[in-house]
Structure 1
Amino acid sequence: MQTSASSSQYLNGFSRVTVLPGLLIGAASLLMLAGCNSKAGAQAPGQGAPQAVPVPVVEVQPKPFELTFEYPAQISGVREVEIRPRVSGIIEKRLFEEGGRVKQGQSLYKLDNAPYETALAKALADQKTADVQAAQAKRDFNRIEPLIASKAVSQAEYDNAKSAVELAQANQAVAASRVREARLNLGYARVESPVSGYVSRSLKTEGSLVTGPQDLLTTVTQVDKVYANFGMPEGDNTTLREGLANGNIQLDKGGLKVEILNSEGKPNGMQARLAFQDVRVNTSTGTVDARALFDNKNDALSPGQFVRVRVSGAVEKNTILLPQRAVIESPMGGKIVMTVDKDSKVAPRPVKVAQWSGDQWVITSGLNAGDKVITDGYIKTPPGTPVAPQMQAAGNANKQAAPAAAPAAKQ
């Protein structure tokens, strides 16, 4: 079952229906007549007992009901990456079309790399020098090493030769690291995209000097998958949490389902499972942050776009549903229904409602299984009026009473 949102106003995640003025007037009349029930039912001397008025009723029967909630949501890319240079330099060329699609590893900017090519050449020369010095130190040590046993050289000369080898090897390692650094800097002169997606406008033009990571060049948003971020009202979250805790609510296999709705309030075919739900309540909004991850290979959704989502997949085991026509506004606030008591007389009953599904209200309190609720004719049958209940099937509860019953209600 699905929740209708087209003719309702949302409050704390649930909808409230606009009641026809006639129902308000009728409810007021009922309560005004309630104080003179004995007079309304009294008969003149010599007359018999009042005739029971036929009224259509439905018998309350709790049944499973799928809870659905609708919320506004905003789309964001699964990854939104800031493109920043890792080295300083002059931008020689922009290598992408603003607003276009780019691939992972694609070069977006080319910086002036002449200084980095020069630095690499110097590092390579220093590395070669270090290699030559290390080779010479090794040869000197190889000549001295056999002489130490015959004491042809002193221990100090041997130690100096060995230290020279170790120092030359250390210089080799330093030179090699400088070569790697120079190669990295030369590579960083080409600024690449770390993800595939759409690139935004360029914040720097050719000829601009960038000094390193502190300069933002552009952003790339990955949109093959997107998040729908929304806030779940605290009341809805509490209903789900408490229902799951006491066993009155069960989740579908896979958890809560989230659907994107189109402009007409109908699912557009994009579905996902709830990917994240915070345990904290946002103190500024009174909602619980949540989001779902959607496949967006056809680029149907754009980052920053506002949409509406429907959350479903939670089934309440024992839910009371009543036709909307059976629930009326009370002049003193709240909602009431007209029931048939054990003496077959009309008795008002205050109820609490949550949301409505199709043409039925979801009743959260005020009624029990087996109660009989009048669905039509209650304006002509004030509280205390004897009635003859005419049972209706649940599927016909929102239809007008049968023609045969209508004249009887107009006493």
Structure 2
Amino acid sequence: MMNSRHGVVALALVLAACGKGGEAPPQQQWAQGPAPVGYVVMAMQPVRLTSELPGRTAAYETSDVRPQVNGLVQARLFTEGDMVRAGQPLYRIDSSPYQAQVANARAALARARAAIASSAALARRYGELVKINAIARQDYENALTSAAQARADVAAQQAALRTAQIDLARTTIRAPIAGRIGRSVFTTGALVSAAQTQALATIQRLDPIYVDIQQSSADLLKLRQQIITGQIARDGNARVRLMLEDGTAYPIEGTLRFADVTVDPTTGSQTIRALFGNPRGLLLPGMFVRAQLVEGTQQNAILVPQRAVSRDERGKATVMVIGQGNKVEPRVLETSRTSGENWIVTSGLKPGDKVIVEGGMMLRPGMPVQGHPWDPNAKPAAGQPGQPGQAQAK
């Protein structure tokens, strides 16, 4: 009797427990209904295409300071690292030998001028005598020839004097361009020559300054083809921005000047040159930078947020869209490149498609959803399943 009574009580407890356990938890009841998701509506829009490419700075002008005469360096007339102006004296070479050459050329010119006066007077006298047949015609012609030779000697001595004066002036070595001068390789007392290969110093003009950007020739070819076919409209005056080695942005925009006409066979890249203002001297030749280059504008592009795109087992880009009956449909995409935080889609989506951006981590094809426009600035609600932020937190 006692055993049967205990059995009835146990059965009642089991049934009561089953009655309570058969009711689904609130989370499961919520999951069985349409899942709330955030979506964006696809639309055609113009997109400004940019590329971030490596580059190096190069001086706008560079000039090696070299001697043009032989001699000993008597003085250095500049401070290393200073700004110099065009024509400023930089070195002084011993000028004594060249002063002597100038004096010698002046004396030779005076001698030639004296000779021309004598020969011209003789030619005039012979001219009068030949008229009365007092001298032979040949003597008169010889006098004319001597006068002409004397005039030629004067011209030659004038040229020799000018050459000696030029060499004398070159004993003061001047700056060929304006810019910042580097270190002096030669010191006072050094023997220099006009035929030497090593420069005395180097001057570089750094404002403005060039940035040489390396871009794949295949990418440039693709860009040119898209411009020719009208897929991309090229801006008339392309602007370029720089990111410096420390990750900061250079405050001055540059302009694109030209792309090199040859391709480097070792790297398969072309050099694109941009020009930047450098009033504070922040950019120095040889610095590594990253250039953000505006290539053009694609007038009709579809952008999908990168966070909405995943990869299937074959590595293809896929998204989830809200299809017929508010049910999830997968789409396989083809993308060309990124634009900011978005992918530029070339196929797989059309205007008006609702791409799920938020709440789609646990969705499966055919599941019903309740969509609402996605606000990229809104924070996901805490405790909601399927939110990317919550999944990352886990």
**TM-score interval (norm. to shorter):** 0.7 to 0.9
Q: Deviations over 1:293-322 (max 9, x none)?
A: 122232221122222221126111112111
Question: Hey, what does 1:203 align to over in structure 2?
Answer: 185
2:45 to 59, 63, 70: 63
Aligned counterparts of 2:122 and 2:341: Cα–Cα separation in 1: 99
- Is the deviation greater in 192-201 or in 56-65? 56-65
1:248 to 231, 256, 260: 231
Question: Hey, what does 1:378 align to over in structure 2?
Answer: 360
2:251 to 246, 263, 269: 269
Aligned counterparts of 1:277 and 1:308: Cα–Cα separation in 2: 17
- Give, in angstroms, the shift of residue 262 of structure 1: 4.6
Residue 235 of structure 2 aligns with an amino acid whose one-letter code is D
2:213 to 209, 224, 230: 230
1:91 paired with 2:73, answer: yes
SS of 2:142's equivalent in the other structure is: helix
Question: Hey, what does 1:212 align to over in structure 2?
Answer: 194
Aligned counterparts of 2:151 and 2:107: Cα–Cα separation in 1: 16
* Cα gap change, 1:100 to 1:60, in 2 (>3 Å): same
- Give, in angstroms, the shift of residue 401 of structure 1: 6.6
Aligned counterparts of 1:224 and 1:56: Cα–Cα separation in 2: 51
- Give, in angstroms, the shift of residue 373 of structure 1: 1.9
Residue 380 of structure 1 aligns with an amino acid whose one-letter code is M
Percent of aligned positions with the same letter in both sequences?
Answer: 32
SS of 2:251's equivalent in the other structure is: strand
- Give, in angstroms, the shift of residue 407 of structure 1: 9.3
SS of 1:185's equivalent in the other structure is: helix
Aligned counterparts of 2:100 and 2:382: Cα–Cα separation in 1: 98
SS of 1:314's equivalent in the other structure is: strand
Q: Which has the higher contact order (CA 8 A, sep 6+)?
A: 1
Q: Deviations over 1:2-52 (max 9, x none)?
A: xxxxxxxxxxxxxxxxxxxxxxxxxxxxxxxxxxxxxxxxxxxxxxxx976
How high is the TM-score relative to the length of structure 2? 0.82
SS of 1:158's equivalent in the other structure is: helix
Q: Deviations over 1:182-238 (max 9, x none)?
A: 001101111111111111111112111112142421111111221011112335423
1:392 paired with 2:373, answer: yes
Q: Deviations over 1:258-312 (max 9, x none)?
A: 1223567564321121012123332222222011112223222112222222112
Question: Hey, what does 1:302 align to over in structure 2?
Answer: 284
SS of 1:285's equivalent in the other structure is: coil
8 Å contact 1:375–1:397 — kept in the other structure? no
1:188 to 149, 170, 175: 170
Question: Is the radius of gyration larger for structure 1 or structure 2?
Answer: 2
- Give, in angstroms, the shift of residue 87 of structure 1: 1.0
- Give, in angstroms, the shift of residue 175 of structure 1: 0.6
Report matched runs for 1:45-194 at 5 Å.
Answer: 53=35, 55-194=37-176
Aligned counterparts of 2:246 and 2:335: Cα–Cα separation in 1: 25
- Is the deviation greater in 340-349 or in 235-244? 340-349
* Cα gap change, 1:234 to 1:402, in 2 (>3 Å): farther
- Is the deviation greater in 161-170 or in 209-218? 209-218
8 Å contact 2:359–2:386 — kept in the other structure? no
* Cα gap change, 1:238 to 1:367, in 2 (>3 Å): farther
Aligned counterparts of 2:145 and 2:67: Cα–Cα separation in 1: 42
* Cα gap change, 1:58 to 1:297, in 2 (>3 Å): closer
- Is the deviation greater in 150-159 or in 211-220? 211-220
Question: Hey, what does 2:24 align to over in structure 1?
Answer: none
2:350 to 368, 374, 381: 368
1:290 to 268, 272, 281: 272
- Give, in angstroms, the shift of residue 112 of structure 1: 1.0
- Give, in angstroms, the shift of residue 170 of structure 1: 1.0
Question: Hey, what does 1:19 align to over in structure 2?
Answer: none
8 Å contact 2:305–2:343 — kept in the other structure? yes
8 Å contact 1:327–1:335 — kept in the other structure? yes
Aligned counterparts of 1:248 and 1:331: Cα–Cα separation in 2: 32
Residue 390 of structure 1 aligns with an amino acid whose one-letter code is G
* Cα gap change, 1:244 to 1:265, in 2 (>3 Å): farther
* Corresponding pairs, count: 355
SS of 2:307's equivalent in the other structure is: helix
8 Å contact 2:321–2:331 — kept in the other structure? yes
How high is the TM-score relative to the length of structure 1? 0.79
8 Å contact 1:259–1:271 — kept in the other structure? yes
Residue 58 of structure 1 aligns with an amino acid whose one-letter code is V
Instruction: Specify every segment of 5 or more residues in structure 2 that has no aligned partner in the other structure, as ranges.
Output: 1-31, 388-394
- Give, in angstroms, the shift of residue 375 of structure 1: 1.8
Aligned counterparts of 2:270 and 2:386: Cα–Cα separation in 1: 53
* Cα gap change, 1:282 to 1:389, in 2 (>3 Å): farther
Instruction: Specify every segment of 5 or more residues in structure 1 that has no aligned partner in the other structure, as ranges.
Output: 1-49
